Structure 1
């Protein structure tokens, strides 16, 4: 008795027709018939009543059907178990992250995963948040750390790492330095230095401005917080950053939470339901590394992380 014979038997039983069953299993009708006859000879009983136009199960066929299905399910489970072990021996996982990312829990998770599964190739790519989300949706990426506005991308599983407000950061002597309250209209009165379209922070800024009917004058764009802060410190514009990002530059810049920008800036891990065994293993390490770290990065997590 062979698994393929059981597969053909189940197909004929469910389709109630040899021709349709043959199409389902992608072999000729004569091939299906021959294998079923061989199975019947081995079992010593006919499995189908072929006397009518529609094929029906004999009592012996009815008794065998559930067991045949169970056998096929068990065989599939064996194959899946072997595949999972194989994937964790010589598989591949592709991870995306925003440019300039230095969130250490992600690196700790990758290191722990590599130690546990040294045969799995890790591919790490940088890109803008919107393209990272698209990459996860299409399967080009297994996992991504990206920025988002208010909510994580639809259709993807996610773990929010950071949720923060936008700030306006200015150097000493700037008209906004001593203000007790800064609004989007205050921001719009000055040149702005911010991240480019496609980044999570830019999406937050654009959504907040649209809600208030404000059009800021974006003078310069940069993908890394270091660059944005450096340009603002030299008087080239007001830096728009998240709270924890701006905190790293408090020796050069004074940061004010933008009072009417209520949309939070998120940093999140996103993935599709994890069919890839290597991804499932990596997610376990990510959860351990990030833990309950949802309020903001720690002291070792430098800025430039929310693209």
Structure 2
């Protein structure tokens, strides 16, 4: 009896859920059917992969050894599938974007793709950086657009554009920073005035870093689920926040009460990147996609710099 890819898929689902019922639900089969497939895999290999417990399963040493091999095999299968899809940006492209980029960049990207007469079938997943990185490394995504570096040699990235931060709030809230003498520095913002995104968003972490604030101090509010919510709150006078240039045109149009103020040079910023797996053949499609994303992003940030002029050098 041969080992099948289906058995390895079921095996990894059980590894990750540690429960036959949850694993069966994840792969859309019945629990008895999954149990049979796992048992047949154990018989084929001649080892016990799991210790069955009353409410759980424990992975054996043999199971741990198989897990590493199974993940390599499934990654190779994903590469084969990606290669078939991504012949010069044709077919289906599974692209991931972080939520602080997707709603602003994607509407500008689609016309650029159409103008290049590509036959791409774009499938977008919007999620936080950790989830996107995991999806990329598992072969569920072909490329991701993120604002933080990916460590290790498993990926290749292309820098797309620099996205600078501005201070945003209602005119009443910005009165004090504007009246203060000297150039505005991020670490001069009153933490009690600062509102940021939920924990887990890389933009929240970046804002805390540039403002030299410690998350554990908890003097600031972390709770908005999206930049749109955040801009709406501060536009109504709830506090101050840092907004990326990418979002300025959309959020100021939606929130007439929102006012913006530039930081002194060098301004805080984030680097937007397109990332793919190193093992994926990126010939043609990756560079072309990076060019479209970069062009769209640079147009948005250029418009933001015209809307809110840069500080004098």
1:264 equivalent to 2:289? Answer no
Alignment TM-score, normalising by the size of structure 2: 0.54
Which whole-Å CA distance do the structure 1 matches of 2:222 and 2:85 have between them? 49
Aligned partner of 1:283 in structure 2 is 286
How far is 1:145 from its partner? 1.3
Which whole-Å CA distance do the structure 1 matches of 2:223 and 2:132 have between them? 19
Q: For 1:1-307, what aligned pairs fall within 5 Å after superposition?
A: 88=87, 92-99=92-99, 100-103=102-105, 104-108=107-111, 111=114, 116-117=118-119, 122-148=122-148, 152-155=149-152, 156-174=155-173, 175-176=175-176, 178-179=178-179, 181-210=183-212, 217-246=219-248, 248=250, 249=252, 251-259=256-264, 264-273=269-278, 275=280, 280-290=283-293, 295=298, 297=300
**Which has the higher Rg, Structure 1 or Structure 2?**
1
SS at match of 2:179: coil
Q: Is the 8 A contact 1:170 1:177 kept in 2?
A: no
Which whole-Å CA distance do the structure 1 matches of 2:248 and 2:217 have between them? 22
SS at match of 1:217: coil
| Offset from partner CA, 1:93-119 (integer Å, 9 cap, x none) | 321112252314533465468x6446x
Alignment TM-score, normalising by the size of structure 1: 0.55
| Offset from partner CA, 1:145-201 (integer Å, 9 cap, x none) | 1222xxx22232222223233322121122435235333443234332222233232
Q: Is the 8 A contact 1:162 1:293 kept in 2?
A: no
Q: How many residue pairs were aligned?
A: 213
Aligned partner of 2:58 in structure 1 is none
* Inter-CA distance 178–298: structure 2 relative to 1 (3 Å threshold): closer
Q: Is the 8 A contact 2:85 2:92 kept in 1?
A: no
Structure 2 residue ranges without an equivalent (≥5): 1-79, 305-313
How far is 1:87 from its partner? 6.5
| Offset from partner CA, 1:249-303 (integer Å, 9 cap, x none) | 2853232334598653122211112625xx64532431342455664626899xx
Which whole-Å CA distance do the structure 1 matches of 2:276 and 2:141 have between them? 8
SS at match of 1:101: helix
Q: Is the 8 A contact 1:195 1:201 kept in 2?
A: yes
Q: Is the 8 A contact 1:164 1:264 kept in 2?
A: yes
* Inter-CA distance 134–111: structure 2 relative to 1 (3 Å threshold): farther
| Offset from partner CA, 1:111-138 (integer Å, 9 cap, x none) | 468x6446xx543211012321232233
Structure 1 residue ranges without an equivalent (≥5): 1-80, 302-307
* Higher mean C-alpha deviation, range 256-265 or range 171-180: 256-265
**Going by fraction, where is helix more abundant, 1 or 2?**
2
